[in-house]
Chain A
Amino acid sequence: MSRIVVMDLREHNTVLAGHDRYFVLVGPDGDSHLVRDWCPHRGGPLSLSRLTPDGRRLTCPWHGTKVGVAAVRRTGLPMVRSGDEAIVLLPDTPDDVPVTLVHKRILANLPPEDPDRPGSDGPDGSAGPAGPAGTVEDCAELPALPCEEQR
C-alpha cells in the first residue's frame, strides 16, 4: 500500500522517507518528476549533479558518472502535480517510517554546464577534467549493480 505525501512545491523540493531521499527534477519544459537522489554507480547525490551541455545526462558529483536523464526519470515516484501542489505516492512505506519534506538547492535543475568553462565536459559530452567516468544511459533502471559493471 502506497503512502500519500502532499507537497507544496513553493516550499519543498525534497522528500526524506526513512533512509531514502527523493528530489524534484524539473525538465526543460517545466515538467517535474520526483526521482531518487541516488546515483546508480555508488549512490552519489544526483540532486547535486549537473546537466551535461546537451541536457541529456546528469554528471554525478562523486565520480563523474553520466546518468541519462530519461533513465533517472523512469525511477520517479508516482506524483500528480496540480499547480504548486504535488501529491506523491510513496510505495511500500509503512506508517512508522518517518517522512520529512525539506527544501534543498537542486543543482540538477540548473541550466546545462557551460562547455567552455574549465572543468566542464566538452561539447560532445565526453568527460572533462573532473575525472574518469562511466557514461551510462540506462543503469538507473538496474540500480542493484554499479554502472560500470553493467556495462
Chain B
Amino acid sequence: MTIQEQSLPVFASDGEVLRDRVASFAANQLFGGRPDLLHGPNPYRRTLVPEALAEVDFDRPLGAREFASSRALTVHRILGTYYESETVLLPEQGLAGLRPDFEAFYGEELRRIRESSLSDLERFAFGFLDGEVEVSGDCTPEVLDTYLRHLVDEAARGDSPALDAIATAADRPAAADTYLVQLALDGLTEASAMSRNLGGAYGPEQSALFKVFIDEFGYGVHESKHTTIFTKMLGSRGMASHVHAYWNFYLPGPIAINNHYYLLSRDHAKFFRYAGAVAYAEAVFAPAFVKMIKVFRDVFGDDVDLHYCDEHAHIDEHHGRITREEILLALAERHGNHVVPELMRGIAEARMLGGWFEDDTAAQITWSDTIPRHRELAADATLDGPPERAERTRGAAFHTRNHDHAVVLEIEDGEAELVTSATGTPTPLAKGDAVLVPAGRVYGVRALSDASSHLLHPVRTSA
C-alpha cells in the first residue's frame, strides 16, 4: 500500500469554462502591459497577453514534451500570477499611488476568479506529471537514499547546458544576464513556496525545514536575506531588482519549475513530493552554484557581486544534508515505506523540471546570440502556408511571445526592433528584413516607426 493521490478527472470544469475564467482574470487592467521592455516597480502589474489566450486550447492539457510551447508560456505566466497573489507583495518605494493596483490585485473580483479556477489550471499545467513520472517496486528508505545519491552525483558530474551556452556565446555578458533573469523569478521572492510548508504540526522534520527557511530569510536580518543579496547581484550588473522587472523575459521552463514548487506546497496532499523535490534541489544547488561562480567570474571579472552565489555554494551544502537526512529520510523512517514512492516522485519531478530550466535557458541564450545567423536561415527557409499578420504602433504595450513551430518573422511595413533578451541590444529590422524564430524561442517586436507590421510565416520542417 502506498500513498497515491486520488484519481481525479483532468478538469472539474470543461476547457471552455476554464478558458472563460482565466480570460476574465487576464483581461483585468493590471495585466494589459506597458510600452517599456521592463516592468516598472509595481509588483501587481505584469503582462499576461490576453490575446494569446485565444490561441490556447484548454480542452487539451499541456504535455510533457511542450514545456517551451506557446501554451505553456501563456498558462504558466497566469498560474504564476495566481500563486503570487497568495503571497504578500509590496513595492519597496511604498504603496502611495499604487493603492488601487494593490486593491485590484488582492481584491475580491480577481480572488474569486482564482479560487474558481486554480485547481483546474494546475491540472491543465501539471496533470501530465501523473503519467510522465512513475515510481514502482519495493521502495524502502535505503532505495530512496541510493536513488537521491545517484542523481546528485549525476548532477555534480554533468554539464550545465545553460552555463555552457554562456561560456560559448559571442555576447557573453548578455548571455549571462539572460541566465540571471531566469534566476530572478525565484530569487526576488525566494523561498515563498517553501514558507507554505512551515505551518501545521509534523514533528522534527518541520523544525528541520524551518532551519533551512531561516537561512533563506537571513535570520531576520534583511541585509542577509537571500532575496536581498540576490538584488545586490543584479544591481552590480546594473540590472533592475524589483518584482518583476524582467517579467517579459522569463522563459516557460523556468516559470514552470517555479510554479511546480508552489503546486507542491499549496496542496499538502503533495507534501511528500515537495519533500523529495526540495531535497533534490538543495542537494544539487551547491555544486551548481560553484559552476555558476566560475562562469560569471570568467565573464564579468570582479565587476559583479557574487555573494549570492557564494552563499548558496556554501549554505546549500548544509541544506542538502539537512533536507536529505533530517527531512527526506526522516519522513521515510517515521511514516513508513508507503510514503517513499511519493518522496521519490518528487525527486524525479524536480530533476525533470530542472532539465527544462537548463534546456530552455540554453536555447534562448544561443538563439539570442546568433540573430545574424538566423537572418541568413530565414532566407533559406521553406515557407509553409499563409502567414499570420501582426501590427505594432509606437508606444503600444510591449509583450513577448513564442511559437510552437519555427516561423520566419518578416517586416511587412515600417521599422521595428526584435527584442530577444532583457539586456542585449535589440535588432533593428526594416521592411523586408526577416529572421528565423525557432520553436519555443521568446521574443518581442517593438515599432520604431509610428506603425509597423510583420508577417509570421510557418516554416516547413523536415519530418
Contacts and interface: CB of A to CB of B under 8 A. Distances in A.
A4 B132 contact: no
Interface residues of B, number: 23
Nearest to B150: A4
B146 A4 contact: yes
Nearest to B340: A78
B143 interface: yes
B132 A78 contact: no
A19 B136 CA distance: 22
Contacts of B151: 87
Given A33-B137, A34-B137, A83 B147 contact: no
B136 A83 contact: no
A82 B133 CA distance: 5
Contacts, number: 63
Per DSSP, chain B at the interface is: helix
B146 A76 contact: no
Contact of B147 (A30, A33, A73, A80): A80
B134 A78 contact: no
Contact of A79 (B64, B131, B137, B351): B137
B226 to A, nearest CB: 29
Given A87-B147, A89-B146, A79 B136 contact: yes
A82 B348 contact: yes
Interface string B334-374: 00000000001101100110000000000000000000000
A53 to B, nearest CB: 25
A109 interface: no
B321 to A, nearest CB: 20
Interface string A79-94: 1111100010101000
A78 B64 contact: no
Contacts of A89: 137, 143, 146-147
Interface string B187-222: 000000000000000000000000000000000000
A77 interface: yes
Interface string B102-143: 000000000000000000000000000001111111111011
Contacts of B150: 4, 87
Contact of B64 (A73, A83, A91): A83
Given A1-B146, A4-B150, A30-B131, A82 B136 contact: no
A87 B146 CA distance: 11
Contacts of B138: 74, 76-78
Interface in A25-79: 30-34, 73-74, 76-79
Given A1-B146, A87-B147, A87-B150, A80 B344 contact: yes
Nearest to B344: A80
Contacts of A87: 147, 150-151
Contact of B137 (A4, A30, A76): A76
B146 A2 contact: yes
A74 B1 CA distance: 10
Nearest to A1: B146
A1 B143 CA distance: 8
A73 B64 CA distance: 26
B135 A80 contact: yes
A6 to B, nearest CB: 9
B133 A81 contact: yes
A8 B352 CA distance: 15
Given A2-B142, A30-B131, A82 B137 contact: no
Interface string A2-17: 1010000000000000
